[in-house]
Chain A
Amino acid sequence: MSDTPVADIKMSARGLSVHYGDKLALKGVDLDMAAGEVTALIGPSGCGKSTFLRCLNRMNDTIPTARVSGRVILDGEDVYGPGGIDPVLLRARVGMVFQRPNPFPKSIYDNVAFGPRLHGLYAEGEELDTVVRSSLEKAGLWNEVKDRLIEKGTSLSGGQQQRLCIARAIAVSPEIILMDEPCSALDPIATAKVEELIDELSQSFTIVIVTHSMQQAARVSQRTAFFHLGDIVEVGATEQIFTNPANPLTQGYITGRFG
């Protein structure tokens, strides 16, 4: 594993393992995620990328067979430690965007207002309006939906729905945004818009993205981690991984000589 030291660590995993029943899906993974950076997770299907991502905001807690061991540290605090962070609060700090856009069957406005309301962050009315607007603006969706905020979120196109989900995630002012293959259901234009959004969001948020597109990892991330069989084989600056990976497995995977 060739790792370059990460400047400003926002979140890190140490010896992170996950069992589903008897099956060991994640084998003691170490990874540092830097503040204000995009970290891409790549690797073949079933290698544990989603499992890893779900550990970061304790989404695995919702899977009955899943057992997590090891540590996830957010700003120096152990997410799984005794008296650790409350999972609901943690998920406000560590938001998630999924592969398939999954807006609630509610209005566009209510979709974005959902998190702030859940956490009682803002007063109904003008205050909440401002948050909804600024979240939609940050998600690059405001101009497209400002005149139809009462329409259902599900009435939007796929790409718009995904940006709505991103607006929903950022409405609670998270510090970290996790994205699990956020563009795999989108066409190239919608994908480009989401990638541009990731670029902009990375100024204010720490982003961890799982992607099956090598080119997407190359385009949007500053660091790339290559997962294989539940382990990280190599992690490094994205530029280095895609021009001169240290590990032959990484090279085999990204060049398509892996089978």
Chain B
Amino acid sequence: MDWSFVLTQTLTQAIGIQAIIYCLAAIGLNVQFGYTGLLNFGQVAFVAAGSYAVGVIVLTFDLSLWLAIVVGVVVALVIALILGIPTLRLRADYLAIVTIAFSELVRLTVRSIAFKDVLGGAQGLNGKLGQDFHDTNPLPADFQSLPVLSWTRQDLWVVIVGWILVALFTLLVWLLVRSPWGRIVRGIREDEAAVVSLGKNVFAYKLQALMLGGVIGAFGGIVWAVAKQSVQPDTFRPEFTFFAYTILLLGGAARVFGPIVGAILFWIILAGTGEFLGQAIQAGWIDFLQPTDVGNIRFVLMGSGLIALMVFRPQGIFGDRRELALDAK
């Protein structure tokens, strides 16, 4: 059994590209759900918007990646308006229903044969999507690999910029939630009517939160497309959104660092158990599992862990228990 392999693989994934993508999606959810109380179950649609903006602008239209990023942001804003305007005046559950339906609608539309020329159909868009970005890579051309973390030169550059993005958005969220703006959205999360009665345009604030969270999610999608140089419609399934929620709850909703801690933990658990079980089966320690079962077992363990967390520490790792206990109306 190769323990060092298990450890390095786990660590590489814990702070790797997937962790960054999910972290960005979860930061967006933190703004929407954590602070404002909006149940957006379609965060993956915003991520897909970011990815597809890169795919379509760079590959289909052969334009620059930087333009694609702008388009991704604009599309995310438009989606937030489309989802928000009809639902945010209604009870909270309407947004939940509409967003989850919309995210599936997006996936089925982008993979449909009708738009194959532009969106690539079920095969998605594959090519030099992130070339403009990778051309900026300042790492030495003969770069081999970091001591423990096994990223390629290209991946390492994505990881560096990805974490910078995470830091910037975390800073933005931190600035916002400690401002009077943040006070209003936290008020909305608890009791809209009270906030309305004090003369605040609650609808506008909910829309702003949905838009901001959506744009941050779209950046997750942009990172994804740039890193993988490929956009696959079937990666944008509803599970993505639920994993992002898991991350948010692991780290603690309405905590500025919740999504970062959550994303790292999520990938430690997922990658760690995966690598460990894989090695253990190879070494013959476990004989009742096949290597092909590992992928699923990881999620069983993750689910059990989440249940245990909700029972024993419902506020998440960082959450403030007092805040949760004060539910009395």
A and B held together in a complex: no
Interface residues of A, Cβ cutoff 8 Å to B: none
